[in-house]
Amino acid sequence: MKPPLCALAHSRCARRVAGLLLAAFSCLAVTPPGGWGALVPTQEPEYGPASTAAARLQWLREARFGMFIHWGIYSVLGHGEQPLYRELLNNSEYQRLAGQFKAERFDPDAWMRTARAAGMKYAVLTAKHHDGFCLWDTATTDYNAVKTGARRDLVGDYVKACRKAGLRVGLYFSLADWSIPAHFAGPKKNPDGWASFIDLTHRQVEELVTRYGQVDLLWFDGANYFSGDDWQSGRLVAMIQRHQPEIVINNRLPKPKAGGNWGYDTPEQRIGNLSTNFWESCITSTRKFWGYHVSHEDPSMWYPEREVLETFVRVAANNGNLLWNVGPRADGTLPKLYQDRTRLVGAWLRKNGEAIYGTTGAPFEFAYGGVMSQRDRDLYLFFLYWPGTEYSLPGFKQKLASASFLVGGKKIEAVQEPHRIVLKGLPRKAPDLVTVVKLTFDAKPEPHEWAKKRLWQINLEGMEEWARK
C-alpha cells in the first residue's frame, strides 16, 4: 500500500508568494547563539518573555524521568526501528507489515502503570517514525493504524491513558519519511514533490496538535540533510503554538536562517554535561535498538540494575532528565525486563527522592565517591563506589552541621578539617545500589580553596602547601 504524497498541491506562484511573506516576517527575528544538536547545552528555549519561557519549561525540568516508546510496524519484523533502510527492504514489501501489526494486547493503561511505578512523570510515543507509518487516524494517508491491522487510534488511546495516570503527554514525530521518494530527492532536485511533502508533513503535525487536547511535548527527529528553511520550520512552529501555546518543542526541528523560538538539547545515548540549562538524555534500555528486536528476549541485551540506576542518578546530578526508552512488541506488550528495571528505579526514588527533586547539580570534587546534588544548605552524596568504613571528602568553607544517611536518617560521624571532611564508621558494605549521604551546613556550601583545584582541569598553583602536609 503506497501512501498518497498529498491531497492538495500548492501552485508555484502561491509558494513564491508564501516564501516572500515568510522571509519578510522572519527578518524581524534574531538568530540565537549555538545550533541545534550542540554537545554542550548553550541556550534556553525562548517562547516570548523570559518569564513565560521558564514557566513553560518548568514542568519538564521538575519531571526528571520519562518513558520513551518506539513502536510501529517495524516491531512485527523484530529487527529494531530502522530495518526498512538499514536492510534496504523494498517499501512495497515492508508496508505489508502494516496488516500484521494488530496490537492485539496493547493496554496503554498497563504502560502508564509501569511508568508510574518507575517514578516517571511523562511519556513520549512515536506517533510517526522514519518509515512513514502513522499510529493515528490521519486524513493524509491510509498508511496508518486505523486503516490497517490494528484498526484503532493508538495515539488516541495512549493520550487517554497518560491523562488517566497523571502523566504529561509527549508525541514524537519524524520529519524524515522514507515512504516518500520526494523526501530523498530534496527541494532542489524535485521542488514540486518537496512542496507536496512539506504540505503533508505540516498537515500531519497539525492533526496531532488539534485532535487530542493538550499536548505537552512535541519531540521532533529525523531532520538531517535539510535546513530549517527547507522544512519551513518557522511557519510550522507558528502553527503549533497557535493551537498549543503551552507546548514544549525539542531542538531537533532545525531553525530557519532568521532564527526561531524553540528547542532544548537532547543528547542521544550519552549523559549531558553539567549545565544550568535544561537538557534531556534519551537512552535505550538495551544495548542496541530503540524499537523491539528479537535479541531483546536475551536478558544479557539489557543493562543491569546497577547500571540503570547509576545512569539515572548521573543524569539528575548533571541537571538533566532521563528519557528511558522501551520498544514494545508488535502485540503491544512491554518486555518484562524493562518493567523490572524501571520498577527498581521507582522503588529507589520513593526512598531517595529528596536528593533528586528540586535539587541542582553540585560541581564539587567527588570523583572517587560518585556524584552530588544540592539544595540550599544541604549537599547530597550519591555513592556509586562505596568506600568501605571511611571516606575523605574535599572540604568546604562553611561549618558542617550534620551528616546522615538519607534513608533512615542514621547519623554519621564526621570530622571537619579546614580542607576536608572525613566520614567515619561507615558500614563495610554499601546499604544500597546507590547510597545517599546527606550533609547539612550552616550556610550554602562553597568549596575550600584547595578543593577548587580539580585534578587535570586547571592550574594547580598553590597546592604546594597541601603537598607539605
pLDDT in tens, 298-307: 999 999 999 9
**pLDDT of 80 strictly over 60:** yes
Q: How many CB atoms lie within 10 A of CB 38?
A: 14
446 and 423, same structural domain? yes
Please provide the distance, in angstroms rounded to a whole number, between the alpha carbons at the two ends of the chain.
77
Residue 10, in any domain of the structure:
no
Name the residue among 234, 169, 223 with its Cα closest to residue 197. Answer: 223
The answer to whether residue 11 scores a pLDDT higher than 50 is: no
* pLDDT, position 13: 39
- Same domain, yes or no, for 271 and 327? yes
In a domain, 271, yes or no: yes
For residues 406 and 192, give the distance between their C-alpha atoms in angstroms, rounded to a whole number.
62
Taking the C-alpha atoms of residue 265 and residue 267, their distance in angstroms, rounded to an integer, is: 6
58 lies in some domain: yes
Residue 455 pLDDT exceeds 80: no
Residue 40 has pLDDT above 80, yes or no: no
Mean pLDDT in residue range 30-41: 30
Report the CATH number at residue 240: 3.20.20.80
Given a cut of 60, is residue 8 above it in pLDDT?
Answer: no
My answer on whether 187 and 265 are in the same domain is: yes
Residue 311 clears pLDDT 90, i.e. is over it: yes
* pTM for the full predicted model: 0.87
Specify the residue for cell string 544540592: 374
Residue 33 has pLDDT above 90, yes or no: no
Residues 329 and 364 in one domain: no
Same domain (yes/no): 342, 379: no
Q: Which phi and psi (to 5°) does residue 353 adopt?
A: -55, -30
Residue 399 domain-assigned (yes or no): yes
Mean per-residue pLDDT for 235-262? Answer: 94
pLDDT, the chain, mean: 88
Q: What residues does 124 pair with on adjacent strands?
A: 68, 170
Q: What is the mean pLDDT of residues 411-416?
A: 97
Write down the pLDDT at residue 29.
Answer: 33
Same domain, 320 and 252: yes
Per-residue model confidence (pLDDT) at position 276: 86
Per-residue pLDDT at 235:
96
- Is residue 189 domain-shared with residue 42, that is, in the same domain? yes
Looking at the structure, tell me whether residues 39 and 188 fall in a common domain: yes
In degrees, to the nearest 5, what angle opens at C-alpha 269 toward C-alphas 263 and 272?
A: 55
Confidence class for position 27, pLDDT limits 50, 70, 90: very low
Q: How confident is the model over 252-268, as a mean pLDDT?
A: 92
- Residues 208-248 have pLDDT tens digits of 999 999 999 999 999 999 999 999 999 999 999 999 999 99
Report d(CA 398, CA 404) in Å as an integer.
17
Quote the pLDDT of residue 247. Answer: 95
pLDDT-based confidence at residue 55 (cuts at 50, 70, 90): confident
pLDDT at position 452 is 63
Kindly tell me if the per-residue pLDDT of 349 is higher than 50: yes
Indicate whether 376 pLDDT > 70.
yes
Can you tell me the distance from the alpha carbon of 373 to that of 380, in angstroms, rounded to the nearest whole number?
5
Q: Are residues 272 and 329 in the same domain?
A: yes
- Does residue 329 carry a pLDDT above 90? yes
d(CA 40, CA 55): 23
Residue 9: pLDDT above 90?
no
The residue type at 430? A
> Over the stretch 158-186, which tens digit does the pLDDT of each residue have?
999 999 999 999 999 999 999 999 999 99
pLDDT at site 342: 95
Using 50, 70 and 90 to split pLDDT, how confident is the model at 450? low
Tell me the mean pLDDT in the region 73-100.
96
Give the pLDDT band of residue 68 (cuts 50, 70, 90).
very high
Count of the separate structural domains present in the chain: 2
Q: Please list, in sequence order, all residues whose beta carbon lies within 8 angstroms of the beta carbon of residue 57, skipping any fewer than 6 positions away.
A: 44, 45, 248, 264, 278
Return the pLDDT at 375: 97
Domain hosting 301: range is 34-355
Q: Is pLDDT above 60 for 1?
A: no
pLDDT confidence of residue 431: 97
User: Cell digits for 422?
Assistant: 572525613
* pLDDT confidence band for 435 (50 / 70 / 90): very high
Q: What is the mean pLDDT of residues 269-297?
A: 95
Closest CA to 179 of 220, 144, 136: 144
- Four-CA torsion 90, 91, 93, 94, nearest 10 degrees: 110
Q: State the pLDDT confidence band at 24, using cuts at 50, 70 and 90.
A: very low
pLDDT of residue 467: 75
CA distance 456 to 388: 26
Is residue 22 in some structural domain? no
21 or 313, which is more confident? 313
Q: Examine the fold and report which residue of 355, 371, 400 is the final residue of a domain before the chain moves on.
A: 355
Torsion angle in degrees (nearest 10) through CA of 410, 413, 416, 419: -90
Average pLDDT over residues 317-336: 97
Span of 56-60, 96-100, 169-173 with lowest mean pLDDT: 56-60
Q: How far is CA 299 from CA 243, 336, 337, in A?
A: 44, 10, 7
pLDDT of residue 468: 73
For 263-276, what is the mean pLDDT? 93
The grid cell for 205 is: 503535525
3-state secondary structure the chain: CCCCCCCCCCCHHHHHHHHHHHHHHHCCCCCCCCCCCCCCCCCCCCCCCHHHHHHHHHHHHHHCEEEEECCCCHHHHCECCCHHHHCCCCHHHHCCHHHHCCCCCCCHHHHHHHHHHCCCCEEEEEEECCCCCECCCCCCCCCECCCCCCCCCHHHHHHHHHHHHCCEEEEEEECCCCCCHHHHHHHHHCHHHHHHHHHHHHHHHHHHHHCCCCCCEEEEECCCCCCHHHHCHHHHHHHHHHHCCCCEECCCCCCCCCCCCCCCECCECCCCCCCCCCEEEEEECECCCCCCEHHHHCHHHECCHHHHHHHHHHHHHCCEEEEEEECCCCCCCCCHHHHHHHHHHHHHHHHHHHHCCCCEECCCCCCCCEEEEEECCEEEEEECCCCCCCEEEECECCCEEEEEECCCCCECEEEEECCEEEEECCCCCCCCCCEEEEEEECCCCCECCHHHCCCCCCCCCCCHHHHCC
With cut-offs at 50, 70 and 90, classify the pLDDT of residue 418: confident
Clarify whether residues 343 and 459 are in a common domain.
no
pLDDT number for residue 34: 29
Lookup: cell for 423:
566520614
Q: Are 327 and 221 contained in the same domain?
A: yes
Q: pLDDT band at 23, cuts 50/70/90?
A: very low
At residue 260, the pLDDT reads 85
Any domain includes 137:
yes
Residue 192: pLDDT over 60: yes
Is the residue at 65 inside a domain? yes
| Same domain assignment for residues 344 and 364 | no
Domain boundary among 322, 355, 388: 355
Judge whether 300 lies within some domain. yes
Task: Write the CATH number for 373.
Answer: 2.60.40.1180
State which amino acid sits at residue 2: K
Give how far Cα 163 sits from Cα of 156, 285, 424, Å: 11, 24, 48
Of 293, 322, 355, the last residue of a domain is 355
